[in-house]
Amino acid sequence: MARQDPEHPDPEELDLGTVVEHAQDGDLEAFESLVLRYETSLFRMAYRMLGDRGDAEDVTQETLVYAWQKLETLREPVTFPTWLLRIGANRCKDAIRGQSRRGTHAVEEETLARIPSTAPGEDPHRSAESREGMDQLNRLLQTLPEDQRLVWILRELHGYSYNQLAETLGASEAVIRGRLARTRKNLAKGMEAWR
């Protein structure tokens, strides 16, 4: 239900830049609106990067807290989604380094086990093959260097353009294209064993 107070319009009825500006002015409701818009996307990126639901939830929360604390430093309000995912990507890199030091890099088996074995009316054999393929892809992604994993996730799962990738990751488009080509080559090589 929309609010009638012209002094405090409903953040969901405002364009992104205006909502971010309100949040930068300390409007917690505006920031909560941004969280609702982007939290799922941020979590998905973190989960694909880290392969662990708990770590992804932690990174998501840390990123949102940090974003709230540093929101006034964002110069271009309309770049908020890219800025937020860049913070999240950096937090994921830190978490991966921590995993490497601890020697953990596991995919959550309990999460995979909760996936229904088949959808209603779906061929159980085909569903099992599909689930196995996703499991193998997830394991293969975890073997990639973090820069390759991140560029692939942002491009293939989040639909980032080369320009957005370059801006988010702080690299030129040529570097991004090369990194993505190496990533695809590594994934294709890893998938050969599946045939």
**Domain carrying residue 78:** 11-102
Say yes or no: 94 and 154 in one domain.
Answer: no
0.75 surpassed by pTM: no
Q: 25 φ, ψ to 5°?
A: -85, 5
Q: Provide the domain count of the chain.
A: 2
Say yes or no: 30 and 88 in one domain.
Answer: yes
Residues 122 and 118: their CA atoms lie apart, in Å, by: 6
Q: Please report whether residue 128 resides in a domain.
A: no
Q: Please report whether residue 5 resides in a domain.
A: no
pLDDT in tens, the chain (195 residues): 444 455 656 666 788 999 999 999 999 999 999 999 999 999 998 988 888 899 999 999 999 999 999 999 999 999 999 899 999 988 988 887 776 555 444 444 444 444 444 455 666 666 566 667 777 787 888 888 888 888 888 888 778 889 888 887 888 999 999 999 999 998 888 888 766
pLDDT, position 108: 41
Supply the CATH number for residue 148's domain.
1.10.10.10
